Structure 1
Amino acid sequence: MRKMIYNITSGEPQNLVQSTIWATLESSVRLIPPIIAFYGISELFEAYQQNRLLNTKLYFYLIFASFVWFLLQLLISTVTYDKEYIAAYEVSEKGRTKLANHLRKLSLGFLDSRDPGDLTTMMLGDYTLLETAVSHIVPQAVSALILLGIAFVSLCLIDWEMTICLYAMLPIALLVIKGSNMLMNKLGAQHIQAKVESASRLQEYLQGIKEIKAYSLGGEQFTRIQKAFNTLRKESIRLEGVLGPVVMVSISLLRMGLPILVFMGSYLLAQKSITESIFLAFIVVASRIYDPFTALMMNYTEMRYALISGERIMAIRNQPEVEGSEKLGDDYTIRFKNVGFAYKEEAVLKNIDLDIHPKTLTALVGPSGSGKSTIVKLLARFYDVNEGAIEIGGKNLKMIDPENLYSHLSMVFQDVYLFKDTILNNICVGNQHASFEEVMEAAKKAHCHEFISELPDGYDTLVGEGGSTLSGGEKQRVSIARAFLKQSEIILLDEATAALDLENEAGVQQAIKKLVEDKTVVVIAHRLKTIMNADRIVVLDKGTVKAQGTHDELYQQCELYHRLVDMQNEAANWKFSNN
């Protein structure tokens, strides 16, 4: 039970203390009406047996007690409601925030291994389940257990035989519920997996809607999302259809304690072993004692289902973060020492030895799949090397605090992502404290000030999700402006000019040339003419360094580089022909 609550609350069970206490008080107060009813009916029995008038003073007290109970119930229920929901939403809000912050500190390799809809389902769907569990199920379940324990001890003091009859079928009912745990876990896991698959396919459908339209994959022809939704429907029906009868059987078995109580009570009453008042008291208690049991059993399946969500969240929360405590100094010399790296079992880099000097432009070139992007990702510490070491200023990259490392890095990716916000705020990702003049200067260097100024709201123009309202070239230039604004000592460019037209490409090349005067720049280039003036060009092939040098040196001495340059020159002269 303790582990269950720990997982359901995402490792913060202390947030349930107040709500559980108030839920217990609320359940306790609900026992007052049966007690009032017991005293009222007992007075009727005694007055009848003794052939006397009713004690009207007692009934006045009972009416007054009922009024006080109503006010007390209203007050406690209101506070309990607030406490339960405040606790639920606080646990959910803190949990989501901590999980999001934790995800930011995990390795990119781990995130790439997850299904795209998995983390979305976890952040939204799983935490929604936990909100329900924390607000309704757990406090009520704990308070029910406490209350039922107190009731059992109290009733045993009155008459243990009647108490045993009242609770007689409880062990059997609990065994039925307990016996279904494996089934609950299996069906719950399958249902959550169906939700994850549906979320993934929906995300895939929305992101690939252009391809779906272009290749006529819409409607009935696009079966992947239809199949996922169909599976979710089946799993939902199976979950409810199988577990519902189990709960109903358990509740029916539990309530069989009432006829057993009546039968045994009648027998003991006939034997003069108990009084009418005691018999009546147990009948009145039995009318209410099964309510928390029933609620507990109905909530148990939901609690087990929420537990699966809690375990999924805790599994992510327990993933080790990228570690490091050292800070970079003033030396930004980058060294790859016999570096080897593999994605799972597939070797991507082998025996990479490479020196990148401060305030120079180093270009990485080579055929597709040669390892260019992997080198940049390792340098940004999206992954850690499997063999060898990467050093910056003589310090092993694995020992450097990731936050400190990123403060010295700026990255421009080939696939640019812009947030659904203004262009101004998207550029300010590079430096959130920059002034408008600094933002404008960075935009001018990146050659995007002109097209931004022509937009209806200028720098305050909202861009769509992912930058969908801008062209590829425009997004690329906004991303480059981010890098200029951040003013980091090391800049990584993954084919930064790939989506630019000739005019803007020339301008950005001039800006990058100006930037390199006091920065260390590593650029991945497919258009070799854009990096001919690089201080050093590194030629990669099949995960190894084939050659290093200037453009002229490599063109004369490296057959692979020579071939790549000639192929691009030939491609530049390619044109459509009627023949």
Structure 2
Amino acid sequence: MNSYLYQISGGKPKSLLPSIGAALLDGLVKIFPAILIVDVFNTVFELFAKESATLDTTRLWAVSAFLLGWLVIQYAASLLAYNTSFISSYKVSAFGRIELAEHLRKLPLGYISSKNPAELTNMMINDFAEVEKAISHTVPQFISGLLFPILAFIGLLFVNWKMAIAMFIALPVACIVLWATNRFQDSLSSKQVIAKNRAGSMLQEYISGIREIKAHQLGGERFQRLRQAFEDLMRESIRLETLIGPIVMIAIILIRSGMTLMIFTGTYLMIDGQLTLPIFLMFLLVGLRVFEPMTVTLVNYAEIRYGSFSAKRIMDLRSEKPQKGDDTIKNIENISFEDVTFSYKPDQPVIKNVTFDIPAKKITALVGPSGSGKSTITKLIARFWDIDSGVIRAGGKALVDINPENLLSHISMVFQEVYLFKATIYHNIQVGNPQASREDIIEAAKKANCHDFITALPHGYDTLVGEGGSTLSGGEKQRISIARALLKDADIILLDEATASLDPESEADIQRALNRLIENKTVVMIAHRLQTIRNAHQIIVLNNGSVSEKGTHETLLAQEGLYAKLWHLQNEAGNWQLK
């Protein structure tokens, strides 16, 4: 239970204390009127039990007035429990989502890439919804429902121990039933959670690939996979409800049998003269108050077992270690790879014992066949992953020792696939430097050759773009990406074939913008069209994850190696035409 409370509260179990305390107070406040009602009944009972007795109207009026005033206290306690529980749950889940998103941002990109996006989305939305429900309802009601009968049992032992034992004797049996079926409940819950995540994943895949599905008429096949995922979810959900439900009902019946046993015991004791009617009535009234929260506790126990999977998934992600590094650098003079090996999967190296230098304020181009490791090298420079062996240095310091946030502050990236946020163009450019003024943003846009098309839009810089930049063309998105990089003004520029998929007019505009971007910067660019890198200061040719050649354009052509072969093949392809 301690482990669960730790997980469900995001590692802060003390945050649950206010809601648990308020729920317990609410339960105690509700039982007090039952004691006073017994006192009223006892006062009236004495009038008939004793011939010389007179009705104590003063006492009755006092108790009635107290009960009336107690309604206000009871309302206040219920309101406190309600507000405290929901405020605590909303705070924990809201801050928990923010903290988890921040933690996710600091994890290696390799870890994030290994996860299904739908799984992470379900965790951020659905799992936290389960946590929110647990904090606001399940846990406070469970703990208060557990403590309340214990306190009532202890108090009733002093009144009549036989009646107290009769009332609660079935409680241990019900607990044993639930404990004995823990593994069975966990198995059902885990299968339902897996089915729910798979259904979410299939739905996201179907929506994301709807264009390809329609274009290739894959609707039947892909929809069948989606249908199967939802049918599996339906089947596991029904199994969860129909198989766990009877277990909980058995436990509830056992609990409520204590009321029947108490009535039989009380009747016997009254006949035997060991119990008075007022005391018997008090046990009945207290029993009605006690068995209700006990029943809720049993139901909540099953929900707690289910919610524990959501809490554990969240805590497992939180336990993932972010990239380390405490050193900071003011500027990056150069970058060096020293015998670097890296693999995305164990024993499948993508980069093998690579060694080379990237000089400061020079242009270094990476070329080679597809899958040779070009994009991987740029991602290793940005430390999206940590290497298996060897050393990458930036400004003379090993990347593993540099704070990742500090390292990325010195790097700007312009990739072939540009992602724009669902926000205004102004805010998408401002991503490069959140502290930049509007004048700085407009100036960056002008240098990136995108000011003219932005001002031609109906709302100019305040135009809202679709998610991913879907309302803009490829060239427009690319120029906004360059404007971001210009605004950031970083030491290192990483370019991944930024003009490969553009029309000639857009390519010319972007090439002019790139020339402004890379001026006096250390540039690492990936190029498939070798014509664009003829003037690079250094060209590194990669093949099967290793450096096969290195030099200038003229030097590599003279070597008549892989670079020269690629150059001649592209020239031949450039002369190709339809016949």
- For 1:445 and 1:533, the matched residues in 2 are separated by 22
Do structure 1's residue 506 and structure 2's residue 508 form an aligned pair?
A: yes
Do structure 1's residue 49 and structure 2's residue 34 form an aligned pair?
A: no
Number of residue pairs matched by the alignment? 577
Q: Mapping of 1:414-493 within 5 angstroms?
A: 414-493=416-495
Do structure 1's residue 98 and structure 2's residue 99 form an aligned pair?
A: yes
- For 1:30 and 1:460, the matched residues in 2 are separated by 57
Alignment partner, residue 555 of structure 2:
553
- For 1:29 and 1:219, the matched residues in 2 are separated by 60
1:428 Cα shift? Answer: 1.0
Alignment partner, residue 236 of structure 2:
235
Letter in 1 for 2:371: G
Residue by residue, what CA displacement relative to the aligned partner does 1:287-324 show, whole Å, maximum 9, x if unpaired? 22111100100111111111111110000001001110
- For 2:132 and 2:71, the matched residues in 1 are separated by 29
1:221 Cα shift? Answer: 5.5
1:476–1:500 CA contact under 8 A, matched in 2: no
1:438 Cα shift? Answer: 2.1
1:326 Cα shift? Answer: 0.4
Alignment partner, residue 70 of structure 2:
69
Residue by residue, what CA displacement relative to the aligned partner does 1:8-30 show, whole Å, maximum 9, x if unpaired? 11111121121221111111011
Alignment partner, residue 352 of structure 1:
354
- For 2:439 and 2:285, the matched residues in 1 are separated by 78
Residue 16 of structure 2 aligns to a residue in which SS? helix
- For 1:576 and 1:40, the matched residues in 2 are separated by 104
Alignment partner, residue 15 of structure 1:
15
2:556–2:564 CA contact under 8 A, matched in 1: yes
2:118–2:204 CA contact under 8 A, matched in 1: yes
1:509–1:530 CA contact under 8 A, matched in 2: no
- For 2:34 and 2:516, the matched residues in 1 are separated by 85
Residue 186 of structure 1 aligns to a residue in which SS? helix
1:262 Cα shift? Answer: 1.6
- For 1:515 and 1:256, the matched residues in 2 are separated by 79
Alignment partner, residue 182 of structure 1:
183
Write out the 4+ residue segments of structure 1 that deviate beyond 6 Å after TM superposition. none
- For 2:198 and 2:222, the matched residues in 1 are separated by 19
Residue by residue, what CA displacement relative to the aligned partner does 1:268-296 show, whole Å, maximum 9, x if unpaired? 22222233332222222222211110010
Do structure 1's residue 25 and structure 2's residue 25 form an aligned pair?
A: yes
1:331 Cα shift? Answer: 4.2
- For 1:119 and 1:514, the matched residues in 2 are separated by 39
1:503 Cα shift? Answer: 2.6
Q: Mapping of 1:244-283 within 5 angstroms?
A: 244-283=245-284
1:447–1:504 CA contact under 8 A, matched in 2: no
Residue by residue, what CA displacement relative to the aligned partner does 1:19-58 show, whole Å, maximum 9, x if unpaired? 2211111110110232122122222322221134432222
Q: Mapping of 1:292-331 within 5 angstroms?
A: 292-331=293-332
Greater mean deviation of Cα atoms: 222-231 or 445-454: 445-454
Greater mean deviation of Cα atoms: 7-16 or 359-368: 7-16
Letter in 2 for 1:30: K
Greater mean deviation of Cα atoms: 437-446 or 305-314: 437-446
- For 2:66 and 2:49, the matched residues in 1 are separated by 26
- For 2:223 and 2:341, the matched residues in 1 are separated by 41
Alignment partner, residue 383 of structure 1:
385
Alignment partner, residue 397 of structure 1:
399
- For 1:555 and 1:363, the matched residues in 2 are separated by 15
Residue 547 of structure 2 aligns to a residue in which SS? strand
Letter in 2 for 1:286: G
1:547–1:558 CA contact under 8 A, matched in 2: no
- For 2:3 and 2:149, the matched residues in 1 are separated by 21
2:541–2:548 CA contact under 8 A, matched in 1: yes
Aligned equivalent of 1:515, options 511, 514, 517: 517
- For 2:287 and 2:513, the matched residues in 1 are separated by 83
Residue 336 of structure 1 aligns to a residue in which SS? strand
1:360–1:516 CA contact under 8 A, matched in 2: no
1:86 Cα shift? Answer: 0.4
Alignment partner, residue 143 of structure 2:
142
1:173–1:253 CA contact under 8 A, matched in 2: yes
Alignment partner, residue 339 of structure 1:
340
Residue by residue, what CA displacement relative to the aligned partner does 1:445-481 show, whole Å, maximum 9, x if unpaired? 3222232222222221111011111122221221121
Residue 244 of structure 2 aligns to a residue in which SS? helix
Structure 2 stretches lacking a partner, 5+ long: none
Residue 485 of structure 1 aligns to a residue in which SS? helix
2:332–2:491 CA contact under 8 A, matched in 1: no
- For 2:84 and 2:351, the matched residues in 1 are separated by 56
- For 2:399 and 2:229, the matched residues in 1 are separated by 42
- For 1:169 and 1:149, the matched residues in 2 are separated by 13
Distance 1:234 1:423, change over 3 A: same
Alignment partner, residue 535 of structure 2:
533
1:64 Cα shift? Answer: 1.0
Residue 430 of structure 1 aligns to a residue in which SS? coil
Letter in 1 for 2:515: K
1:219 Cα shift? Answer: 5.8
1:476–1:499 CA contact under 8 A, matched in 2: no
Residue by residue, what CA displacement relative to the aligned partner does 1:246-277 show, whole Å, maximum 9, x if unpaired? 11110001111112112222222222223333
Greater mean deviation of Cα atoms: 62-71 or 536-545: 62-71
Residue 492 of structure 1 aligns to a residue in which SS? strand
- For 1:416 and 1:93, the matched residues in 2 are separated by 30
1:421–1:464 CA contact under 8 A, matched in 2: yes
1:558 Cα shift? Answer: 4.2
Letter in 2 for 1:546: S
1:411–1:483 CA contact under 8 A, matched in 2: yes
- For 2:420 and 2:332, the matched residues in 1 are separated by 32
- What percent identity do the matched residue pairs reach? 48
- For 1:108 and 1:331, the matched residues in 2 are separated by 22
Q: Mapping of 1:113-132 within 5 angstroms?
A: 113-132=114-133
Letter in 2 for 1:436: R
- For 1:558 and 1:35, the matched residues in 2 are separated by 100
- For 1:399 and 1:354, the matched residues in 2 are separated by 20
Letter in 1 for 2:496: D
2:195–2:232 CA contact under 8 A, matched in 1: yes
Structure 1 stretches lacking a partner, 5+ long: none
